[in-house]
Every structure is written in C-alpha cells, then in structure tokens.
Amino acid sequence: MPGTTAAQSPAADRIADVVVVGAGPAGSAAAWWLRQAGHDVVVLEKADFPREKVCGDGLTPRGVKALQDMGVDTSPAAGWIRHKGLRVHGGGEITEVNWPHLQRWPDYSLVLRRSELDARLAAHAEAAGARVHTGVTVTEPLLDEAGRVVGVHAQAGPDREPQVWRAPLVVSAEGLSGRLAKSLGVVRREDRPLGIAVRRYVSSRRSVDDYLDISFDLTPAGPSRDSMPGYGWIFGMGDGTANVGFGLLDTRRGDGSKRNEVLRQWLATFPPEDQLDEEHAVTPLRGAGLPMALNRGPAYTRGLLLAGDAAGTVNPFNGEGISYAMETGRMAAETAVDALARPEGPARESVLRRYPERLRADYGRHHRLGMGFLALLARPDVVRFATAHGLKRPALVGAAMRLMGNLTDGRDGDAVDRAVAALTRLVPAV
C-alpha cells in the first residue's frame, strides 16, 4: 500500500515545492502532474490505505480520459470493469443508450471500488516520485508574517506527533471538510447546491452487466407522493456484488431511516430475483456529502489552491465527482508549475489568481445548467412527464446524457455537440 509514516521523516526533510493535503483522486492527480514537471511534492493523508469512501464507484468516459492522461492501466486485466452505456429508468419507461463515439472522450465507462481506486492513484503518484505520507492529520495552515500560507501544521502517527511541513504553495484536496480553506475564511456558498450520496453493496446477479442503471424518479409511491429530488443507481461491480444507492439534493429531508425507506421503495420496483433488497446487503448503508457547482470559493487565496470536493466541483447534473477531482487536481498542478517558474511576488501571484477563473471558465456554464436541472428534479410531475415521453426516444436520451455528462467535442463536433455548445453559451457561468 502507498505511503509511509510521517513520523519517520526528519524535520529537515519536511520541506517541498508543494504540499498536497489529501490523497484522494484530486490530491494524487495533483501530485502526479507536479512530478511530471519535476517538482518535489509531499502528499499528506490522514487515513491509511485501503480506506472506506462512500461513492458510486463509477467513472464516466470523462473520468476514463483523466486516468488515461496519467498513464493509469485501466484494462480489464488490471481489475477494471467496463460498461458500454446507461440503462435509464423513469416514468415507467426504460431505455438503453451507449456512450457516444467522440474524438475527445473514450466510448466506455469504468467501475472500481473507491477504496481500491484511491489506493492505486496514491501509489501511482508515489511511483512517479511523490512523497506520500499516510496517518498524518493536517490541522491548520502555516502562515508567514503577511498571513500567506507557507506550509501546514500536522499531527502524525498514533502518538499524534506535532509536525510542520513547509512549501511555497499548498494544494487542499481535503474533500468536503475543507479545513484549510475554512481557516482562511473561505467557506461554502449557501446559494449553491449541496447533496448527499447514500450507497451500500449487495450480492446480486446484476454484478455483471454491460450497462449502468440510472433512475431519475425516486418519488415514493402512494397518495402523499412526497418529492424526493434525486437519482438512483445500480452499478455492477463484476465480483458478485452491485453498488446500489442514490443521490438527493435536499439533505434536510430526513435521518438515516428516511434514506433507508427511499432506497427500499425504489429497489422494490426491480424483480426480486435481482437480489437488490436489504436481505442481500453485504455492507451497511453509508452516506457522504456532494459539494456541487463550485460551492466553495475563491479556489485560490494566499498560497492555497483548492481542488476536487474542497472546491465543490461535483457535477450538479449527475453527482459525478471523481472525474472533476482528477481534472482540477491537474489544473491546480499546472497552475502551481506556472507560478513557481516565476519570481516570488506579483508575477507569481498573478498566475495563481487566475486559477479560480480557469475553473469557472471550464465548468461554470455547465454547472449553471445543472442547477436548473436540479430544480426540475424537485418537480416529480415534471420528471415523470419528461421521462415517460423522452425515454421513448433513444436519440433524445443519448443527447441528454451527453449534455449531463459534459461529453462533447465542442463546436467542431456533430449536430448534438453544436446544439449543446449553443445552449451552454446562452447561460452565465456560476
């Protein structure tokens, strides 16, 4: 497993070009890309691998591309499970759509348990020369006299040995908690959506399937028809189990028992022989937050760059976070490389201050559309009407999935791509 105990690191070695906090997809991607540019990078991770992470375990073609760009082996021989498309449920209709054949993106998705994925990515960064230390809890930023981040304070090992790690730049890939950002006054924006993902593994015959199941109708049946805006999934893991769960927009709508009931009622719509019910569960139901639409910002301040969930980069359309974590980890690394090539002072700071605008330019308009989509999910009547009629038209579903998955070749693509590009240009960035 990747990582060493930071307590073994002499104080003289606790200096780097960049300190990355968190060894999830964002942090490991940032570390790998920094190493490609020849920078000395330290990754500090509070847990030990393998570690439990609540996730759907699925990577869309966008995530596959991010892995390929880092040279990660994504072959079936390496344990990855491939799917060729989506099976979409809603309004009493079901349709199957394949991932599009595009120039920029692969035409398949992947599944791998998140615990395994994070360990592999951390090991990949370590193999590239990053110094990965596990069992290290970063407590607060190290500030110079001007209040600029020049490292971090941490506690290492079972004895919680206090440590100081120094670097001209720090990348926060801490996830939803964002402890470093909060300490600098960068808090979550209340005008941006925050959801919750809930999942468990079940022993199911749906473990092997060419398609990933997605449902956009989680509203309970019955006279109350209380709206539960969100989506459900069934992802076959290829090992005799399936990852089943759902994402909800409104986290205030109930406790764990409510979540259990939502999942139970939705899975009860599938045939009993699929073995998706609680009786066939092999893990408890677990939940985690989904920080969406750049809901913490600015993504750069005073020597600290935010990447992945720390910056709130989850796609509001589909709850996809891994792809954007790896992408923003790369963006943070590229920004750091460009900045460190310039003298300390205004020239370097000018480069760093462009990082939030890069995130906004790449994702802001798409996220704005996604926030509109979330508003529609809160209307069960609209969802049922749209899915009951739309799922009868596979071409329309395919186009919608491309929009939601942010999978186009841009203006130079086909008619669907040009339509998506035109639609995106009409909305302001978040």
**Tokens, residue 401:** 């999935």
> In a 3-state reduction of DSSP, which class is residue 322?
helix
Rounded distance between C-alpha atoms, residue 419 and residue 425, angstroms: 10
> Residue 6: its pLDDT value, please?
57
Q: Is residue 147 over pLDDT 80?
A: yes
**Tokens, residue 53:** 């992470």
**Tokens, residue 115:** 């615990």
pTM: 0.94
Q: In sequence order, which residues have a C-beta less than 8 Å from that of residue 76 and are 6 or more positions away?
A: 82
DSSP 210: S
Q: In sequence order, which residues have a C-beta less than 8 Å from that of residue 48 and are 6 or more positions away?
A: 1, 3, 134, 135
Q: Per-residue pLDDT tens for 196-207?
A: 899 999 999 999
Q: In sequence order, which residues have a C-beta less than 8 Å from that of residue 126 and are 6 or more positions away?
A: 2, 3, 43, 132
Q: Per-residue pLDDT tens for 125-143?
A: 999 999 999 999 999 999 9
Rounded distance between C-alpha atoms, residue 7 and residue 208, angstroms: 43
Task: Tell which CATH classification among 3.40.50.720, 1.10.3430.10, 3.50.50.60, 1.10.600.10 matches the domain 4-53+114-190+292-365.
Answer: 3.50.50.60
> Residue 338: its pLDDT value, please?
98
DSSP 287: E
How far is the CA of 295 from the CAs of 197, 211, 230, 313, 315, in angstroms?
A: 17, 31, 18, 7, 11
Q: Is residue 371 over pLDDT 70?
A: yes
**Tokens, residue 280:** 């066939």
> Residue 2: its pLDDT value, please?
86
Q: Which of 6, 4, 40, 131 is nearest to 333 (CA)?
A: 40
Domain residue ranges of the chain, discontinuous segments joined by +: 4-53+114-190+292-365
Q: Per-residue pLDDT tens for 162-195?
A: 999 999 999 999 999 999 999 999 988 888 888 8
